[in-house]
Structure 1
Amino acid sequence: MKKITMLSVLIPLAACAFAGPQVTIYNDGFATVKEERTLTLQSLPSEVRITDMSRQLEPDSVMLRELAAEPFGVKILEQSFINDPLTEGLLLYQLEGKEVRFEEKRKDGTIKEHVGKVIRSGYVPGGGSEQPIIEEEGAVRFSLPGQPVFEGIDPNAFLKPSLVWQLASQRGGECPVEISYVTADLSWEATYNLVAPAEGSDAFDVSGWISLNNQTGKDFQDAEVKLIAGDVQKVQAYNVRRAGGRRVMYAMAPDEEAMPEERAFDEFHLYTLPRPVRLRNNELKQVEFLRAAGVKGVRYYVYNPLIGFRYYGGRNEDPDYGLTDSKKVGVRIEISNSDTNGLGVPLPKGRMRLYRTDVDGRREFTGESQIDHLPKNELLKLDMGSAFDLVGERKRTDFSVDSTAKRITESFEIKLRNRKETPVEIRVVEPLYRGAKWRIPVSSMEFTQVDAQTIEFRAPVPPDGETVLTYTVHYRW
């Protein structure tokens, strides 16, 4: 339909005298919204329009709950979600087949008036466009002759996304209700900053921020905001129209006495912001939720050149499998998320940035890592990139397959170089990928078995020196 025909009984939604909406945001990009409104009802079935809804509202999630002490017996007989507010293109579309006045602004500043019949507006409902067709004085042109000028707007035009209900009630009057729904494009994520002092210590000052991102096409004024941390199962919707626009950065000032409150909720964790906030459309708002000082971490180095190589079952006799020239030595940091270490709180998934304080007192960015949801009393493991002054080299020195003895023999030499002025320990991770049954008959260094197909060496490397590690593995079948 090009134009919605309004029924003879149209009851506008009265202004709401309640507090702001309640918004619960999930870190998977959606939210539930609960708004209190007042409906002016009649005893006869009537049509009610609820304006200023989210553009990304899921219509089949809408629920209506009466708040009056004496129930009105309200029932929704029919619901429509109008997500195509009035625009110049839509108004031209509604006027197809009629004459419209256009104003052409010329280069000399004068304006020439055109009156043409709109054969095709160029507007496509639901998004998109096509070439317009205008007939003027018997001639047809495939463009607009100027800026369209309209004589007025239908008072029943939809200026914002709206719900239109056909309601039945047992009696008339002012009925307070709560409208709840699910909307996409309202999300939150956690970001963390770890600040370490000058070289020689890995005791961190930790701060955590909640970033709220509203792309729903709607402002939420004085909203009571809750945040759900966890992996909530939700069927993904398709073909959802996304709101565009530039995001505005805004950070709430930290307040020592008003940090978000955290508590367990079902199988998740829930954070409640301490004060109502205004969530503007196309805005990224940040709220501090975590602050801790003197959190101890352990820094270590890992040489794992065979990431992506593993045992896939059966027997692997490919002589080229497992050869690599990777020399990068990774930097890892482990932090105990415990009360005794100054933390002991659930950490929602997000990005964690590391800063090191320079000798001049300025903080310099040294890396970042993405973390998953981490319960309290678990170990936080951060991958912080590669060490500049550490180098590893892995070379295979022997490979043979003895089908009679049912044995594969493989030997390696691993060189670890340290160009720092201090000694380091490098953990060397070696996957055993050729068979399920293996044995290490010869090794220049002790190792530990990490799992059924992985071993790890911990090699000390002196300052500006080199350590050479060798081992042989036998596979049998």
Structure 2
Amino acid sequence: MKRKNVIYVGALLTFILSVTAVQAQKNNVRVTIYNENLALVHEMRELELPKPTGVCSFRDVAAQIDPTSVHFKSLSHPTAVRVLEQNFEYDLVSADRILQRYLDQKVQLATKQGGTISGTLLNAAGNLVLQAEDGTVKILNSSEIVATDLPKLPEGLITRPTLVWLVANDGPAKQRVEVSYLTTGLAWHAEYVGVLDEKDANLSLAGWVSIDNQCGATFPEAQLLLVAGSIHRAEAPRPLPKQMRVMEMAAAAGGFEEKEFFEYHLYTLSRAATLKDRQVKQIELIPASQTPVKKEYTYDGSRDPKKVKVTLRFKNSKENGLGLALPAGKIRLYKPEGEAQVLVGEDFIDHTPRDEELRLNVGDAFDIVGERTVLSTRKAGDRADETEVKIEIRNHKSEAVTVNVLEHFYGDWTIRRETLAVPARGKAEVTYTCFRTW
């Protein structure tokens, strides 16, 4: 008898999941995802609405839904349906939930020792507490229990996060409805991969979008829109839960179309995509394109007395193979070495409009060293002074380099004079006098 009960429950759950999957495929779903752990979900479904009033359910919504943001509308008969009451139900089926529903009722337990214990269930949190027919109370460690026999599945348990409405319906029972809501647990960001050529003159740049779905719902064959930009919210979003994630690389066919939208940029995927719960999906944003770049060396001695920074500079223009509004994200830079590639640096870019310049901080030059020395300082008036500074750059590379020297002073200042000489495999000195007023 126990075996039959287990098979029946398993078959029932399989049937529920199968029906849910078939229904989901027939729904029209649009998911708009923002950078800040927020998404707007639109769904259109065929529902059976009670007449003249009654309760209807809308299953498989996001577990992290904001119930106050839900909007319900009948597309078939907009003026015939009104929502009188709304509830968000998330009392999902689990062993603990089922046992809680059997408090003060008779249950039968099977122990590891092979015996059975019957009684009225008084507590199901942690150790189980049973009262036998003779009035004695037994406290059982849950780890000692191997099976629990219950007469039936309690009513009212929910197998999926569900919106439940009390509606007034003056139209037909079968109607097509649209439901929209905000949810946390969905976020996206851009990531870029750049490969330099042998002479560091060109960069093959490709962009990917990573979508992280931890909202507690799967959206099959959804229309996907991504909003790049920072929107103002009246309340800070909740943090993402720490759950296991599945990484999936989506097919590159059918990429994103980008356009301006309000004060942001909107990226619409030209094909449907399935967003599974607890999954990170990656979709190609821009295909690899050759972009001319300029490598620069910069020394800022007042902030870092020894290091010379290496940067790459290029323009986000159509002429350079780009010209797309680039969403913020991390760029990883590689350079070929034989048949492999070696990571040479990483940087983050902000949201970058088309035709704007990008500067990537690659790292510190190994063979170029800087040194900053203050030679003299004198007062040049009540609110003025003059400072003489020497900058020395030592180049241990096999080729000559040009280093940009940055300087910072407070107040109004000008550089009076400077000298520069750059020998091969040697050193270069810059000596200048700064006149400053305040």
Instruction: Give the shorter-chain TM-score range.
Output: 0.7 to 0.9
**Residue 98 and residue 471 in structure 1: after superposition, are their counterparts in 2 closer, same or farther (change >3 A)?**
farther
User: Quick one: distance in 1 between partners of 2:171 and 2:300?
Assistant: 73
Q: Which runs of 5+ in 1 are unaligned?
A: 1-11, 123-130, 308-323, 446-458
* 1:76-87 mapped onto 2 (5 Å cutoff): 76-87=83-94
TM-score (norm. length: structure 2): 0.86
**Residue 471 and residue 88 in structure 1: after superposition, are their counterparts in 2 closer, same or farther (change >3 A)?**
same
Paired amino acid for 1:275: R
- Alignment match, 1:270: 266
Report whether the alignment pairs 1:444 with 2:422.
no
Structure having the larger proportion of residues in helix: 2
TM-score (norm. length: structure 1): 0.79
User: Quick one: distance in 2 between partners of 1:432 and 1:253?
Assistant: 52
Report whether the alignment pairs 1:335 with 2:314.
yes
User: Quick one: distance in 1 between partners of 2:115 and 2:375?
Assistant: 86
- CA drift at 1:295: 0.9
**Residue 244 and residue 116 in structure 1: after superposition, are their counterparts in 2 closer, same or farther (change >3 A)?**
farther
**Aligned residues with identical type, % of pairs:** 30
Among 406, 409, 412, which residue is 1:429 paired with? Answer: 406
Paired amino acid for 1:87: S
* 1:303-452 mapped onto 2 (5 Å cutoff): 303-307=299-303, 326-358=305-337, 360-399=338-377, 405-433=382-410, 436-441=411-416, 443-445=417-419
User: Quick one: distance in 2 between partners of 1:368 and 1:32?
Assistant: 32
| Contact residue 413 and residue 468 of structure 1 kept, 8 A | yes
Q: Give the alignment's Cα RMSD to 1 decimal.
A: 2.7
- CA drift at 1:116: 5.2
- Alignment match, 1:251: 249
Q: Which runs of 5+ in 2 are unaligned?
A: 1-18
Matched residue SS, 2:376: strand
Among 47, 52, 55, which residue is 1:44 paired with? Answer: 52
| Contact residue 309 and residue 363 of structure 2 kept, 8 A | yes
User: Quick one: distance in 2 between partners of 1:384 and 1:354?
Assistant: 8
Among 301, 310, 313, which residue is 2:297 paired with? Answer: 301
- Alignment match, 1:471: 432
Matched residue SS, 1:340: helix
Deviations 1:211-242 (A, max 9, x none): 1111111111111111112222223446x485
User: Quick one: distance in 2 between partners of 1:328 and 1:245?
Assistant: 41
* 1:160-179 mapped onto 2 (5 Å cutoff): 160-179=160-179
- CA drift at 1:472: 3.2
**Residue 139 and residue 400 in structure 1: after superposition, are their counterparts in 2 closer, same or farther (change >3 A)?**
farther
User: Quick one: distance in 1 between partners of 2:121 and 2:278?
Assistant: 35
Paired amino acid for 2:299: Y
Matched residue SS, 2:373: strand
| Contact residue 398 and residue 411 of structure 1 kept, 8 A | yes
| Contact residue 43 and residue 180 of structure 2 kept, 8 A | yes
- Alignment match, 1:217: 216
- CA drift at 1:372: 0.8
User: Quick one: distance in 2 between partners of 1:142 and 1:383?
Assistant: 62
| Contact residue 424 and residue 460 of structure 1 kept, 8 A | no
Matched residue SS, 1:388: coil
* 1:17-96 mapped onto 2 (5 Å cutoff): 18-68=26-76, 70-71=77-78, 73-96=80-103
| Contact residue 396 and residue 413 of structure 1 kept, 8 A | yes
- CA drift at 1:103: 3.1
User: Quick one: distance in 2 between partners of 1:49 and 1:163?
Assistant: 6
Deviations 1:420-451 (A, max 9, x none): 10111111111103xx233444x333xxxxxx
User: Quick one: distance in 1 between partners of 2:54 and 2:245?
Assistant: 40
- Alignment match, 1:279: 275
Matched residue SS, 2:100: helix
Paired amino acid for 1:422: E
- Alignment match, 1:231: 230
Paired amino acid for 2:31: V
- CA drift at 1:301: 1.0
User: Quick one: distance in 2 between partners of 1:245 and 1:460?
Assistant: 59
| Contact residue 250 and residue 283 of structure 2 kept, 8 A | yes
Among 129, 133, 146, which residue is 1:134 paired with? Answer: 129
Matched residue SS, 1:205: strand
- Alignment match, 1:105: 112
Matched residue SS, 2:402: strand
- CA drift at 1:133: 5.6
Deviations 1:402-424 (A, max 9, x none): 8x844444333222111110111
Deviations 1:134-193 (A, max 9, x none): 245534548435256252322431111111111111134101101111111111111111
User: Quick one: distance in 2 between partners of 1:208 and 1:473?
Assistant: 44
User: Quick one: distance in 2 between partners of 1:410 and 1:117?
Assistant: 90
User: Quick one: distance in 2 between partners of 1:134 and 1:460?
Assistant: 88
**Residue 353 and residue 17 in structure 1: after superposition, are their counterparts in 2 closer, same or farther (change >3 A)?**
closer
Matched residue SS, 2:217: coil
